[in-house]
Homo-oligomer: A and B are copies of this chain.
């Protein structure tokens, strides 16, 4: 029976949940009546192009605790890439070779765990496969700390990033409230175009701390003068202000609030950094108070020691779901999470056509942002709260969390 195989790969930027989805795929294949072996493609789609595939089915059989540890390990066990396929009408050489590889390895399905750009690859492979009449199922499994993929209630990786961020914001609040002098702390949070992760800073608020006192999302044009008025007003009421800002803040003309060079990455995105520092110097100059900026940086996407148990669980289920759907013949799709209710938190798992997802992005709805653009509304907090519930409790050894070692087959370490 089990004569066919499949390939899984990971792509884009790291999250804490992307290996949980990988573990889900490996488990799904182990339980499958169709698939014999799942191969892991090293460095995303490049692994197939470079013929760098590892046998994950064997690997997981050799090491009994492997899957459990893998599911709690940050970033990509298989490595990643930022490789954009040309459209096959422009150059089909990669496609020809990829589908040859699928034949060589007796592949029935390819699973790509990734974000927006990876879903572009899923779309292109699906279109080419359809054109040549290939039976290979191509299925995307979402992940991104940005939470900006369409057709899914949220994306794996986001809940853990939100949890780490909210906990860090709470801890920064404790850190900043200790001095009896006027101070402003600006926390810069990831999210190029969507403010979901920045909004999660609001979860830090509790019965004794209302930090962050101001939240600025990239969905709203940023007005430095309005910002200054907000800060001034709050400094009348209290000594210490904590402000959450998205890395992607832009002014009304669309220019980034950023002091850094704006180089373009492979996908034509601007490489951002610096809004925190920019606003730090701005407030210091204008108001003369103590100002500190904190860029959470990559920690928000790799701090697996504080992962959301809900997030990791959902990520693993989506991996399994992708395997099951492929067996049913689903292709050209991405597996999705559909929320049934907030209280109690209930979801169901499904899929959506990749044409509705690739190259689209989901912003925070206007009605979930406060009218004056400096905070979020309760429905957004209600949406976010279930996603950070539960702790994943990694195993600790010698004082540090135990993660699955980055594959020794990765030559580039």
Chain A residues engaging chain B, CB cutoff 8 angstroms: 10, 14, 43, 46, 73-76, 79-82, 163, 166-168, 170-172, 174-181, 203-204, 206-209, 238-240, 292, 294-299, 301-306, 308, 385, 388-391, 396, 398-401, 403, 405-406, 408, 410-413
Contacts and interface: CB of A to CB of B under 8 A. Distances in A.
Nearest to A237: B413
Contact of A81 (B46, B163, B174, B179): B179
A304 B171 contact: yes
B170 A403 contact: yes
A171 to B, nearest CB: 4
A74 B176 CA distance: 11
Contact of A79 (B178, B304, B390): B178
A221 to B, nearest CB: 27
Contact of A75 (B73, B175, B203, B401): B175
Contacts of A411: 180
Contacts of A170: 400-401, 403
A121 to B, nearest CB: 16
Contacts of A389: 398-399
The A interface is mostly helix, strand or loop, or mixed, namely loop
B298 A180 contact: no
Given A177-B410, A180-B46, A399 B79 contact: no
A306 B294 CA distance: 19
B399 A385 contact: yes
Contacts of A181: 412
B299 A174 contact: no
A412 B298 contact: no
A75 B174 contact: yes
A23 to B, nearest CB: 15
A355 to B, nearest CB: 28
A35 to B, nearest CB: 25
A234 to B, nearest CB: 12
Given A80-B178, A410-B177, A171 B292 contact: no
Contact of A238 (B177, B390, B413): B413
Nearest to A405: B208
Contact of A299 (B294, B305, B308): B294
Nearest to A277: B277
Given A14-B174, A74-B171, A168-B299, A180 B79 contact: yes
A302 B180 contact: no
B412 A240 contact: yes
Given A167-B400, A167-B401, A208-B405, 6 more contacts: A73-B174, A74-B171, A79-B180, A176-B298, A292-B297, A389-B398
A208 B400 contact: no
A171 B46 contact: no
A410 B177 CA distance: 9
Nearest to A74: B174
B82 A179 contact: yes
A81 B399 contact: no
Given A174-B75, A175-B301, A413-B238, A399 B180 contact: no
A301 B171 CA distance: 9
B207 A79 contact: no
A357 B390 CA distance: 44
A127 to B, nearest CB: 26
Given A79-B179, A406-B177, A413 B298 contact: no
Given A14-B174, A168-B303, A171-B303, A391 B385 contact: no
Listed residue (A10, A46, A410) with the most chain B CB atoms within 10 angstroms of its CB: A410
